Amino acid sequence: MAKDKEFVKEITPQNEDFSQWYIDVIKKADLADYAPVRGCIVFKPEGYEIWERCQEGLDRRFKATGHRNAYFPLFIPESLLLKEAEHVEGFNPELPWVTEAGGEKLTERLAVRPTSETIIGEMYHRWIQSHRDLPVLINQWCNVVRWEKRTLPFLRTTEFLWQEGHTAHRTEEEARTEVMRMLEVYRDFLETDLAIPVVPGRKSESEKFAGAVETYSIEALMKDGKALQAGTSHFLGQNFSRVFDIQFLDDDGQRKYVWTTSWGMTTRIIGAMIMVHGDDRGLVLPPRVAPTQVVVVPILKKGQDEVRARAQQIADELRSVARVHLDDRAEYSPGWKFNEWEMRGIPLRIEIGPKDLEKNQAVLARRDSGEKLFVSLDNLPETVAGLLETIQKEMYERARGFMAENTRPAATFEELAEIIENKRGFVQAGWCGKAACEAEVKEKTKATIRNIPLEQPDNGPRHCVCCGEPAQYKVIFARAY
C-alpha cells in the first residue's frame, strides 16, 4: 500500500500548483515529452492517439458538411506573405525564416507557415474563374510554426498540429453562413466528443485574427478558472480576395471578388481536455477519444490460471464494443495497476477475481466518478457499451455544471476585479464596445474579453463594467491561457 501511495504522490495536487499538476500529468500519463528544439514537444503514442481520434471526429464532420482535404506547401515566400498588411503585421514577429537551402543562400526568404491564407489565396486566384467554380470548400491537416515566447505543452508550442479550413464563396451571406456552420461544428465536436462545454461568440476587434473582418470563437473553462480559446472561425470578407485578386465571372456578366472564410482547431484541445477533466489522481479521458476505453485487471494469485484465462476471454468479448487492454502482468500488484490506469485516465476498469467468478460477476470501476459497480458477466458487452456512453454524457454534464457555477455576473468594475482575483472563472458583464474600456480592464485585472456570446441574455448588466455608459454587449471576461 505504501508503494501505491507513493506512486500517486508523484503528481502535484491541483490546488497546490495547477500548472505543475498539468505538467506532471502529461509526463506521467506518457502523453508528451519535451523535445531538444526550443518550445517543441514530442507527441508520444498515447498523446498522439488522442489527436488521431480528434482528427477522426472533426474530419467526419468536415466531410459531412461538404469539405475536402488538400495540401499546400510548408514554405511561404516572403513576397506572398507581405501582400496582406494586417496579416503580416500580426504574424511577422512569430515567423521562422529559411534563408539557406541546397548549400546556397536563397534570393528570397521563405517563411515556415504560421497559417496558410496567403499561399492558399494565391492558388485560389488561379483556380477560381467562374461562379461555377464556387464554393471552394477545402480543409488542410498540417503542422504550423509560431515562434512563441512562452510555451506550454499542447497549449502553446513553437510547432503544433492543426487543421485549417479555407473557403471561398459567391456571396457575403453564403460566407457568413459557412463561418457560423463551422463554429457550430467545433461546438458540437468539443461538447460531444471531448465532453467540454463551450461558449460560442464573437471576438472583440482587438482579439480578432490578423486580416479578418470578424472572428468567432468557442471558449472553454479550465478547472483552475482560466479560459481557453478552443477553436476559431473567421469571416475574412473580401480582404484576402482583393489582395490576391480572387475574382469570378458571375452569371450577370460581372467580375466580382469572392468572399472567404478560414477556421482552425489545434492540438491545444488536448491540453483543454486534460485541464477540464483531470483530477489529483491524474488524467480522466472521455471515452470517445480514449486510446484505451476499458482495462481488464485479473486479480491473480499463484495457481489460479482459470482467472487469467477467463479475464482473457472477457477482454476478447469486449473488443466488439470497446477498445480494451488486458493487464495480466504478473510482476505488479492489482493495487499498483489500479493506480496506474487511474493515472492514465482509462474510463473504465474491470476487476475480476476468483470470488467474482464464483458469483458470475465483475467489478466495474468508473474513472470519472470513482463509483464501483458489481455487474453480472451475462451481457457484459452491452453493460460496458452503455456505461461508456453514460460516462461520456456525465463527464459533459459535470463540466457544464462546473462552468455554470463558475460563471458570475458583475455589475461594477470592483465586482469584476474581485471575482477575477479571488474566484476566477467567467465573468458576465456589460461592455460599451470601446477598445479603451477593454484595454483598461485587461491592464488592471489581466482579464480579457473572451467573446461576445451569440446568446445574449435578456437580463443582466445594462451598463459597461468599466465606464458605466450603456452596454452595447454582454460579454465574458476571464483570464485566459
Q: Which residues bind a second copy (CB under 8 A)?
A: 33, 35-37, 40, 42-45, 48-49, 51-52, 68-77, 80, 92-103, 109-110, 112, 119, 122-123, 126-127, 138, 142-143, 145, 147, 149, 159, 161
CB of 373 closer than 8 Å to CB of 363: yes
- 112 vs 464, beta carbon nearer a second copy: 112
Distance CA 217, CA 403 (A): 17
Give the chain's end-to-end CA distance (angstroms, integer): 38
Q: At what angle do helices 45-64 and 172-193 cross, to 10 degrees?
A: 140
CB of 473 closer than 8 Å to CB of 431: yes
- 72 vs 481, beta carbon nearer a second copy: 72
- 124 vs 431, beta carbon nearer a second copy: 124
Distance CA 106, CA 104 (A): 6
The least CB distance from residue 87 to a second copy, in Å, is 17
The least CB distance from residue 327 to a second copy, in Å, is 14
The least CB distance from residue 83 to a second copy, in Å, is 12
- 33 vs 405, beta carbon nearer a second copy: 33
- 145 vs 441, beta carbon nearer a second copy: 145
The least CB distance from residue 161 to a second copy, in Å, is 7
Distance CA 48, CA 68 (A): 23
- 341 vs 413, beta carbon nearer a second copy: 341
- 66 vs 457, beta carbon nearer a second copy: 66
**Interstrand relation of 68-69 and 75-77 (parallel, antiparallel or unpaired):** unpaired
The least CB distance from residue 38 to a second copy, in Å, is 8
Tell me if residue 306 falls in helix, strand or coil. helix
- 28 vs 44, beta carbon nearer a second copy: 44
Q: Is 203 exposed, middle or buried (0-12, 13-18, 19+ CB in 10 A)?
A: buried
The least CB distance from residue 121 to a second copy, in Å, is 11
Distance CA 94, CA 109 (A): 15
The least CB distance from residue 261 to a second copy, in Å, is 17
CA dihedral 472, 473, 476, 480 (to 10 degrees): -60
The least CB distance from residue 351 to a second copy, in Å, is 24
Cell triple for 259: 468572399
Cell triple for 299: 486479480
CB of 343 closer than 8 Å to CB of 30: no
